[in-house]
Structure 1
Amino acid sequence: MTEQQKCRPWLAEDVANNTSWIRPLDQRVIDELGTALDVAKRAGKPLLEMTPEDFPLGENAIAAFKGAFDSTQTNWGFCLIKGLPVEQWTVEEAHVLYWGLGLHMGVARTQNKTSNIITSVKDAGGSYKVDGGRGYNTNAGLDFHVDFCDVVSLMCLHPAKRGGTSLITSSLAIYDEIMRTRPDLDEAIRTPFYFSLQGAGSDDEPPVYPCPIYGETEGYPAFRTNRKNITAAQNYFDDIPPLTDKQVEVLDYLDELLPDPRFCFSMEIEKGDMQLLNNYTVVHSRTDFEDFEEEARKRHLLRLWMTIPNSQPLPQNWVKAFKDVRPGAVRGGNRGKCITEDFLNYERRQATYHGMHNVFS
């Protein structure tokens, strides 16, 4: 990447006044999606056996979605694709289409203890702030956090009756504000914090991992936070060092800054939208929500965690968290307890297709 291609800090006002991050789809792209879905349905392969050739996107769709994913590595660090005709698809068809798109973009990561490759973000009665709790299966408002991938993607099948607003904040702007107002916290924010994997790691890896909240390498900044998981590591594991007073001050100050309306932009994700976020430069959250009574109308988003070929390098002291810090590497994800040979074959095949480094092979 060149200097001009890197992500930059932004304020909520900047985003509100410049909607270049919104990417509407035209009819040619929608038609090409339909054609590719028809081909994939006729083949009927399991998702992990599909290749990009099994979801043959036309040149307009390739350009639209590749451009969207590429845009997360530059400028704003996020985008919102609009106009997916989700009302035309069953939930099963939406899974196939979403997965097929991902095959052309990079390598998907597993997301939880059951090693799911696509997650339904839907209230299933789960609990959030408990040992092992995750937010995607609850209706709770979430702490500001990032996910375990280069780009997190959400596709909206049904919005909530009320609430569920997406909240995003530039972590680069937050770091700049900390350096402007509390430069004494710079050392603490660059030292490792321990994060709990919330039971979503594999059996052969530690249940916690060390990672600084902020670091830089080769001119690329990277930011990682999730206070819930940091607190869980402190509460449930006796063999990790306690947070220093300065580290606690960092977390407390982030709790003030991340939702501050100067920095935090509110975005409604509507039916047929796909949101893409760079997890190293954008921190996200959502408000709590109220569902419709009817099951078919309940809030339902599909989520993919992706590593992509043109990702940035990460600081060397992030390697225990991500397993690989080289640019364009297959990295991150929650391995979970159910990695299969089919997934490993998929991972190897996709890494080769996209020319990506793969330490998992």
Structure 2
Amino acid sequence: MSAIAASQRPLPWTARQAREDRSWVVRMSDAEIQGMRDALNHARTLGKPLLDMKQADFPLNEAARGVLKRAIDITQGGWGMCLVKGFPVDEWTEEESRLAYWGMSLYMGVGRTQNRASEFMNDVRNEGGEYKVKGGRGYNTNAGLDFHQDSCDVVGLLCRRTARSGGTSKVISSIALYEAVQQQRPDLIAVLKGTFFHSYQGTQDPSQPPYYRCPIFGSHPESFSARTNRKNTDAAQRDFAELPRLTPAQLEALDLLDALMPSDELCFTMELEQGDMQLLNNYVTLHSRTPFEDHEEPDRKRHLFRLWLAVPGSQPLPDDWKEYYGDVRAGSVRGGVRGSAITQAFLGYEKRQAAALGMLFETWRPLVQQEDMARILAGHAASQSETAAA
């Protein structure tokens, strides 16, 4: 077992290491696969809405439960990523695959809402959306994506259909990225740990401002964390004139990240095959994908199911990440974007699921509301004026 695989904490890795050491890949056994089939067959007979389901409604055998726990544990350790292969999606309809994936999630974490419609499971497929526009998101387009993290502890993708060409997944270690910045431009580390404003792209709760503050690199004394999405940082500058402008040092730091992330040394590529589940720890990895071309037949078009999960074994986050994540305690229910259509069914589900998994849970409330942000920006403007006058 490699040093990375054996580690109980995330470590930096290079593209070469990910190619040569495949300990982050899990191939399911026949017993594990059969456990998924049997649980789905039971769940189908119940006809329950997804948000009403409990683990007992998707009764996995010990082997199947074990492989899901092992996969999540791998994301919290050395690699920060896991690829589980062998889900029999070729045997299942689209709705059966959706039901099965949700049933599996009941053993992995608490699902988080992902968009302005407050959906808790997204279909990643080309539905004619646009990426780099106001309010644009990547999951409903066929565009290549910037490197980014999703807004949760772990993002999970279950691949139901592959593209005719393209759609290659790219992953890098954000710890290795930090080390590369430290080696090349140590003066920019402090810049990247400072305040950056990012656009919510319309996914915020109506009580929240349309943007939030979060550093690129976290400052927790024990746990590494990174969060970057250049598209949303640029959108905040483009769409909101009241925000402070990025400084020359901030622009230089973001440009350096853009140069480093796709490099051959850091960027590992993988093809997600039918029946693969990719799990990524969003604090210690970043991901993107290449553009893709679809098949003509509707049921052969590229299609993945996406879950955003808060997981029981998650790390603590820096205090200044609370504005965005809502809770920074290890093992807490956090993350997601609220959107404007949260239902009572979802609120009941997340509280019940947190209790089932023994996770810390606080009822969500906005930590920064629109009026709070107005005061923050007024104070910032006043400070800038005093500095200029001095």
TM-score by length of 1: 0.98
1:265 aligns with 2:268: yes
Distance in 2 (alpha carbons) for counterparts of 1:313 and 1:140: 33
CA-CA distance at 1:237 after TM superposition:
1.2
Checking the alignment, whether the CA contact within 8 Å between 1:323 and 1:359 is kept in structure 2 is: no
Equivalence for 1:281: 284
CA-CA distance at 1:161 after TM superposition:
0.3
Q: Secondary structure at the match of 1:72?
A: helix
1:62 aligns with 2:65: yes
Distance in 1 (alpha carbons) for counterparts of 2:109 and 2:124: 21
Distance in 2 (alpha carbons) for counterparts of 1:216 and 1:308: 21
2:361 pairs, out of 352, 358, 361, with 358
CA deviation digits over 1:226-277, x for unaligned, max 9? 0000011111112221111111111100110000010000100000000000
Distance in 1 (alpha carbons) for counterparts of 2:360 and 2:23: 32
* 1:53-132 map, 5 Å: 53-132=56-135
1:184 pairs, out of 183, 187, 201, with 187
Checking the alignment, whether the CA contact within 8 Å between 1:169 and 1:263 is kept in structure 2 is: yes
Distance in 1 (alpha carbons) for counterparts of 2:234 and 2:362: 30
2:16 pairs, out of 10, 13, 17, with 13
Q: Which amino acid aligns with 1:295?
A: P
Q: Secondary structure at the match of 1:231?
A: helix
Distance in 2 (alpha carbons) for counterparts of 1:119 and 1:273: 16
Distance in 1 (alpha carbons) for counterparts of 2:280 and 2:307: 11
Equivalence for 2:145: 142
1:334 aligns with 2:340: no
Q: Which amino acid aligns with 2:121?
A: I
Q: Which amino acid aligns with 2:56?
A: E
Q: Which amino acid aligns with 2:165?
A: R
User: Identity of aligned pairs, percent?
Assistant: 51
Checking the alignment, whether the CA contact within 8 Å between 2:157 and 2:305 is kept in structure 1 is: yes
Equivalence for 2:35: 32
Distance in 2 (alpha carbons) for counterparts of 1:55 and 1:203: 35
CA-CA distance at 1:38 after TM superposition:
1.2
Equivalence for 1:200: 203
Equivalence for 1:52: 55
Equivalence for 1:42: 45
Q: Secondary structure at the match of 1:217?
A: coil
Equivalence for 1:245: 248
Equivalence for 1:157: 160
CA deviation digits over 1:183-206, x for unaligned, max 9? 010110000211111001111112
* 1:308-327 map, 5 Å: 308-327=311-330
CA-CA distance at 1:52 after TM superposition:
1.0
Q: Which amino acid aligns with 2:261?
A: L
Equivalence for 2:177: 174
Q: Which amino acid aligns with 2:361?
A: N
Q: Secondary structure at the match of 2:225?
A: strand
Checking the alignment, whether the CA contact within 8 Å between 1:157 and 1:271 is kept in structure 2 is: yes
CA-CA distance at 1:47 after TM superposition:
0.2
Distance in 1 (alpha carbons) for counterparts of 2:116 and 2:94: 23
Q: Secondary structure at the match of 1:98?
A: helix
Checking the alignment, whether the CA contact within 8 Å between 1:5 and 1:75 is kept in structure 2 is: yes
Q: Which amino acid aligns with 1:100?
A: G
Checking the alignment, whether the CA contact within 8 Å between 2:158 and 2:275 is kept in structure 1 is: yes
Distance in 2 (alpha carbons) for counterparts of 1:295 and 1:183: 50
CA deviation digits over 1:210-229, x for unaligned, max 9? 00000132411000000000
Which 5+ residue runs of structure 2 have no aligned equivalent?
1-5, 365-390
Checking the alignment, whether the CA contact within 8 Å between 1:66 and 1:105 is kept in structure 2 is: yes
Q: Secondary structure at the match of 2:208?
A: coil
Equivalence for 2:216: 213
Q: Which amino acid aligns with 1:232?
A: A
Distance in 2 (alpha carbons) for counterparts of 1:315 and 1:187: 15
Distance in 2 (alpha carbons) for counterparts of 1:226 and 1:270: 26
Q: Secondary structure at the match of 2:218?
A: strand
Flag the structure with higher strand content. 1
Checking the alignment, whether the CA contact within 8 Å between 1:202 and 1:336 is kept in structure 2 is: yes
Distance in 2 (alpha carbons) for counterparts of 1:358 and 1:243: 35
Structure 1 residues 187 and 218: CA distance shift in structure 2, 3 A: closer
Distance in 1 (alpha carbons) for counterparts of 2:209 and 2:302: 34
Which 5+ residue runs of structure 1 have no aligned equivalent?
none
Distance in 1 (alpha carbons) for counterparts of 2:354 and 2:68: 19
RMSD: 1.0
TM-score by length of 2: 0.91
Distance in 1 (alpha carbons) for counterparts of 2:67 and 2:210: 39
Q: Which amino acid aligns with 1:23?
A: V
Q: Answer with 1 or 2: which has the greater Rg.
A: 2
